[in-house]
Structure 1
Amino acid sequence: MATRDPLDFDVGVEVDEEGTPSPSSISPPSSPLSYLDRDRHVAFFEMLYDLMPYHYQSQEINRLTLAFFTISGLHLLQALDRVDKDRVANWVLSFQALPRSRAELKNGQFYGFHGSRTSQFHPDENGVSVHNAGHLASTYCALAILKTVGFNLLTIDKESILISMRNLQQPDGSFMPVHVGAETDLRFVYCAAAICFMLEDWSGMDREKAKDYILNCQSYDGGFGLMPGLESHGGGTYCAVASLRLMGYIEDDLLSKNATSFIVNVPLLLDWCMQRQAIDGGFQGRANKYSDTCYAFW
Structure 2
Amino acid sequence: MSDAASPAAPPAAFLAKQHALFALRHAKYLPTPYQAEDASRMTLAYFCLASLALLPASTVSTADPSLSALQVLLKPTQREGFVDWVYEQQAAVGGFRGSDSLAAARHLAVEAEPSTSAFSSLDPPNLIQTYTALLILGLLDDNFERLDRQGLLRFIGACQTSDGSFLQFPGCPEAGDPRSTYSAFAVASMLDDWSTINVDKGLDFLSRCRRYEGGFAQQPGLEANAGPTYCAIASFKLASRLHDLPEPPSLLRWLLDRQVRPPPLESSDSSDEDEEAEPGGPARDPDDAAGFQGRANKPTDACYSFWNMGALSLLLPAVSPDLSIDDVLDPALDRTWLLDCQHKVFGGIAREPGARPDVYHTYLSLAALALGDADGKILGLRRLDAGWNVPVEVAERMRSGLWKER
TM-score between the two structures when normalised by the length of structure 1? 0.76
Give ranges in structure 1 of 5+ residues lacking alignment.
Answer: 1-28, 100-110, 251-260
User: For residues 262-286 of structure 1, what are the alpha-carbon distances to aligned partners after superposition, in whole Å with 9 as ceiling and x for unaligned?
Assistant: 4321110010001001123010000
What is the SS of the residue equivalent to 1:150?
coil
Which residue of 258, 269, 282 corresponds with 1:276?
A: 258
Matched, 1:194 2:181: no
Matched, 1:117 2:95: no
Matched, 1:264 2:246: yes
Which residue of 297, 316, 326 corresponds with 1:288?
A: 297
Could you tell which deviates more after superposition, 237-246 or 262-271?
262-271
Q: Distance in 2 between matches of 1:229 and 1:131?
A: 34
2:27 is aligned to 49
Could you tell me the percent identity over the aligned residues?
A: 36
2:86 is aligned to 92
Using the TM superposition, give the Cα deviation of residue 168 of structure 1 relative to its aligned residue in structure 2, in angstroms: 1.1
Query: Is the 1:92–1:142 contact (alpha carbons within 8 Å) kept by the matching residues of 2?
Result: yes
Query: Is the 2:39–2:123 contact (alpha carbons within 8 Å) kept by the matching residues of 1?
Result: no
User: For residues 241-297 of structure 1, what are the alpha-carbon distances to aligned partners after superposition, in whole Å with 9 as ceiling and x for unaligned?
Assistant: 0010001102xxxxxxxxxx6432111001000100112301000000011011001
User: For residues 103-123 of structure 1, what are the alpha-carbon distances to aligned partners after superposition, in whole Å with 9 as ceiling and x for unaligned?
Assistant: xxxxxxxx2111111356897
1:160-171 counterparts in 2 under 5 A?
Answer: 160-171=151-162
Query: Is the 1:112–1:161 contact (alpha carbons within 8 Å) kept by the matching residues of 2?
Result: yes
2:318 is aligned to none
Query: Is the 2:42–2:129 contact (alpha carbons within 8 Å) kept by the matching residues of 1?
Result: yes
Which residue of 164, 175, 193 corresponds with 1:173?
A: 164
Matched, 1:212 2:204: yes
2:136 is aligned to 145
Q: Distance in 2 between matches of 1:35 and 1:205?
A: 46
AA of the residue aligned to 1:272: W
1:20-59 counterparts in 2 under 5 A?
Answer: 35-59=13-37
Distance 1:115 1:135, change over 3 A: same
Could you tell which deviates more after superposition, 120-129 or 143-152?
120-129
Using the TM superposition, give the Cα deviation of residue 133 of structure 1 relative to its aligned residue in structure 2, in angstroms: 2.4
Which residue of 64, 70, 78 corresponds with 1:80?
A: 70
Using the TM superposition, give the Cα deviation of residue 148 of structure 1 relative to its aligned residue in structure 2, in angstroms: 1.4
User: For residues 116-163 of structure 1, what are the alpha-carbon distances to aligned partners after superposition, in whole Å with 9 as ceiling and x for unaligned?
Assistant: 113568979972744542111111110111111111336511111211
Q: Distance in 2 between matches of 1:282 and 1:132?
A: 37
Query: Is the 2:79–2:140 contact (alpha carbons within 8 Å) kept by the matching residues of 1?
Result: yes
Q: Distance in 2 between matches of 1:58 and 1:132?
A: 14
What is the alpha-carbon root mean square deviation over aligned residues? 2.3
User: For residues 66-95 of structure 1, what are the alpha-carbon distances to aligned partners after superposition, in whole Å with 9 as ceiling and x for unaligned?
Assistant: 101001000011311211332221111111
1:15 is aligned to none
Distance 1:129 1:154, change over 3 A: same
Distance 1:132 1:276, change over 3 A: closer
Q: Between the two structures, name the one with larger relative contact order (CA 8 Å, sep ≥ 6).
A: 2
AA of the residue aligned to 2:152: I
Using the TM superposition, give the Cα deviation of residue 203 of structure 1 relative to its aligned residue in structure 2, in angstroms: 2.2
Query: Is the 1:112–1:160 contact (alpha carbons within 8 Å) kept by the matching residues of 2?
Result: yes
Query: Is the 1:64–1:116 contact (alpha carbons within 8 Å) kept by the matching residues of 2?
Result: yes
Distance 1:55 1:133, change over 3 A: closer
AA of the residue aligned to 1:63: R
Equivalent residue pairs, number: 245
What is the SS of the residue equivalent to 1:153?
coil
Q: Distance in 1 between matches of 2:152 and 2:228?
A: 24
Query: Is the 1:97–1:132 contact (alpha carbons within 8 Å) kept by the matching residues of 2?
Result: no
Q: Distance in 1 between matches of 2:23 and 2:36?
A: 18
Distance 1:216 1:53, change over 3 A: same
2:46 is aligned to 68
TM-score between the two structures when normalised by the length of structure 2? 0.57
Distance 1:267 1:182, change over 3 A: same
Which is higher, the Rg of structure 1 or of structure 2?
1
Distance 1:183 1:241, change over 3 A: same
1:20 is aligned to none
